[in-house]
Amino acid sequence: MNVAIIGITGYAGMVLFGLLQKHPGIIKINIYQHDIKEAVPLKTLAPQYTYYSKAVKPYDSQTIIDENDAVFFATPAGVTSKLAKPFIDADFPVIDLSGDFRLKDPKEYEKWYHQPTAPQAELEQAYYGLADLTTNPGKNYVANPGCYATSVLLGLAPLMMNDSIDLDNIVIDAKSGLSGAGKKLSDSSHFVQANDNLQIYKPNEHKHIPEIMAMLKQWNPKVDHIQFMTTLVPFNRGIMSSIYVKVKDGVTEAMLKDQFAKVYKDHPFVKVADDSLPTVKEVVGTNECHIGLSYNPVTKYLLVDSVIDNMIKGAAGQAIQNFNLLFAYDADYGLKLTPVLP
Ligand SMILES: NC(=O)C1=CN([C@@H]2O[C@H](COP(=O)(O)OP(=O)(O)OC[C@H]3O[C@@H](n4cnc5c(N)ncnc54)[C@H](OP(=O)(O)O)[C@@H]3O)[C@@H](O)[C@H]2O)C=CC1
Ligand SMILES: CC(=O)N[C@@H](CCC(=O)OP(=O)(O)O)C(=O)O
């Protein structure tokens, strides 16, 4: 199978490229770039590819369709909303790592992303691919979930499905390493500002809130809101979502543990710790989500500690998981990974 990557110079694109090279089902990876007029060696686009002789071709949708079986867009929000149409018209498989097709309602997209949406008819062709817990209804356009959203949704799913918490009291304190912000420099990601520091950003207005809400509502339609905060932490990769929920009367710690165990029984990429809380380091470099639980019998609050590698489980790895699902490859093709330790 031949696959295309758009966005190879970006953080998610380069991780995707690395993982796809080890995917047993892939014969050729073709790379296309949006602002070149003729083919150039990959090494001319970014210094990390100095020793690669591979060629990169100019972006052209018809060429991509002709030369490949699927395309991965590792591009910023606002790109696929403009470029998706020819692929959707041709029912050509797309794995879109951006947020452009995650929300079904165009008004919601414009509210949270502050830019024009893709047309509604195109949005309807897309499927929100939370790869561990959802089943593709047969759509060829996969909207890969956001990184924070992935860690939060996997942490909350068993509780929502079992209606075991007070839905008015879901408080999420999510923390991410800097690679989550992509390669573009900003005031908050500047070394001097980010290093030795903690920065809360986008309080109550993070764009992952609506995609989290949409999925939570599918599991439990009674849920109406979450309290969601994001903090920038000075390490490269990793997300820890500390989720605080008030447990309903009559629900015991043993019942909670059992709910998590049952939901993730057949999901090898999601691991629930028996009696410890996971750290970010143990998942960095892998496609895994590790979850730990800590119940306080005095307050009846449960802490769900959910950690992922934002670049793999939160982006490129989950994109490959979705690709494997779409083409019926083994779940771990391209994803047999071990953490980067120490
Ligand atoms: N980083 C992360 O942890 C996660 C990222 N994502 C999503 O994945 C996508 C990529 O993220 P990330 O790699 O961090 O972003 P980067 O900013 O690091 O990279 C973006 C890439 O998109 C390319 N690009 C920019 N504009 C265009 C355009 N108009 N047409 C085609 N390509 C374009 C850039 O190429 P060039 O510089 O050559 O223009 C670059 O290769 C984003 O939508 C992001 O939100 C999702 C989950 C987690
Ligand atoms: C640390 C950091 O800045 N993280 C990014 C989220 C990365 C991600 O998942 O992005 P998309 O939803 O755009 O795909 C942010 O908060 O916007």
Q: Is the CB of 278 under 6 A from ligand 1?
A: no
Residue 234: phi, psi to the nearest 5? -75, 60
Ligand 2 centroid from CA 271, angstroms = 23
144 lines ligand 2 (CB under 6 A): no
ipTM for the whole predicted complex goes beyond 0.85: yes
Span from the CA of 149 to the centroid of ligand 2 (angstroms): 9
Q: Please tell me if the CB atom of residue 76 comes closer than 6 angstroms to any atom of ligand 1.
A: yes
Contact 272, 260 (CB under 8 A): yes
- Helices 106-113 and 208-219 cross at an angle (nearest 10°) of 140
28-33 vs 55-58, strand pairing mode: parallel
Give the Å distance between the CA of 192 and the centre of ligand 1: 23
Ligand nearest to the Cα of 231, by number: 2
Quick check: CB of 176 below 6 Å from ligand 2? Answer: yes
Where do the DSSP E strands lie in 196-321? 199-201, 227-232, 239-247, 270-272, 289-296, 301-308
Residues identified as active-site: 147
Q: Is the CB of 58 under 6 A from ligand 1?
A: no
* Residue among 75, 101, 152 whose CB has most ligand 1 atoms within 8 A, to mutate: 75
Whether 272 is in the pocket of ligand 2, judged by its Cβ within 6 Å, is no
Alpha carbon of 99 to ligand 2 centroid (Å): 9
Q: Which residues pair with 199 in a beta bridge?
A: 232
Q: pLDDT tens digits for the chain (342 residues)?
A: 999 999 999 999 999 999 999 999 999 999 999 999 999 999 999 888 988 889 999 999 999 999 999 999 999 999 999 999 999 999 999 999 999 999 999 999 999 999 999 999 999 999 999 999 999 999 999 999 999 999 999 999 999 999 999 999 999 999 999 999 999 999 999 999 999 999 999 999 999 999 999 999 999 999 999 999 999 999 999 999 999 999 999 999 999 999 999 999 999 999 999 899 999 999 999 999 999 999 999 999 999 999 999 999 999 999 999 999 999 999 999 999 999 999
Question: How far does the centroid of ligand 2 lie from the alpha carbon of residue 250, in Å?
Answer: 37
Beta bridge partners of 274: none
Task: Please name which ligand lies nearest the alpha carbon of 98.
Answer: 1
Output the residue whose Cα is nearest ligand 2's atom 3: 181
Measured between alpha carbons, how far is 10 from 13 in angstroms, rounded to an integer? 5
CA–CA distance, 81 with 44 (Å, rounded to integer): 28
Helix or strand (DSSP H, E) at 176: strand 165-176
What domains can be seen in the chain, in order of their start residue?
2-145+313-326 (3.40.50.720), 148-309 (3.30.360.10)
Tens of pLDDT, residues 39-93? 999 999 988 898 888 999 999 999 999 999 999 999 999 999 999 999 999 999 9
* Ligand 1 lined by 98 (C-beta under 6 Å): yes
CA pair distance 236, 220, nearest whole angstrom = 34
